[in-house]
Amino acid sequence: MKRAALYCRVSTIDQHPETQLGELRQFAAHRGFQIIGEYTDHGFSGTKARRPELDRMMDDARRHKFDVLLVWSCDRLARSTKHLLQTIDELNGMGIQFLSQREAIDTEGPLGRAILVIVSAMAELERCIIIERVRAGMRRARLEGRQIGRARLDVNREQVIEDRRSGMSLTQVAKRHGISRASVCRLMKEANGGANLPVPVETEERGMEAHA
């Protein structure tokens, strides 16, 4: 029975890696693999070549702790064709089989390797096209004089900072100026040069609002 490792990745902390892991566990059971390890990078972009769980998985691969690596899709392992192929080459050199469930890719044969190159190249091309469309849209918005990103707060910033430093709580300052507590914190952080410095707070809110 082959020993299998599962690797999954989600780009943001509000996504659920369990969706990928559940399908991979079923896939491994269907293929008759014994799962010996699961590696999950939570909140990491696929463009990053170094990720904590990816690095741990590759270290275990070098120690020959598993025989096959299962991923939900190729872009979970890497976004760029170069990084994906480098990783697969290293796994192949260690005699580790690579399987992608969504694309039905198996690198055990030459056909799987060829399909892998095509799929990864198309995925990278799609990503580059999306990035260029976003950049083009931003350039057009600037030319038209439209606001890009978060709108500037229509508030007396100096008064917000003065009220907060006088000892008013985050809630009191936010209500007085009609903004959110997060906006008060952001303005204070900007005023402090990016640092979260202690500010006097009211007794009933001490413990909840130690910094702004």
Q: What is the pLDDT of residues 44-95, one digit of tens each?
A: 887 788 899 999 999 999 999 999 999 999 889 887 777 888 888 899 889 9
Specify the length of the chain in residues. Answer: 212
The catalytic position among 11, 80, 166, 180 is 11
Fold of 3-125: Rossmann fold (3.40.50)
| Predicted pLDDT at 35 | 97
Is residue 11 flagged as an active site residue?
A: yes
User: For the range 31-36, what are the long-range contacts, defined as Cβ-Cβ under 8 Å and sequence gap of 24 or more?
Assistant: 31/4, 31/99, 32/1, 32/2, 33/1, 33/2, 33/3, 33/4, 33/68, 33/70, 34/1, 34/2, 34/3, 34/4, 35/4, 35/5, 35/6, 36/3, 36/4, 36/5, 36/65, 36/66
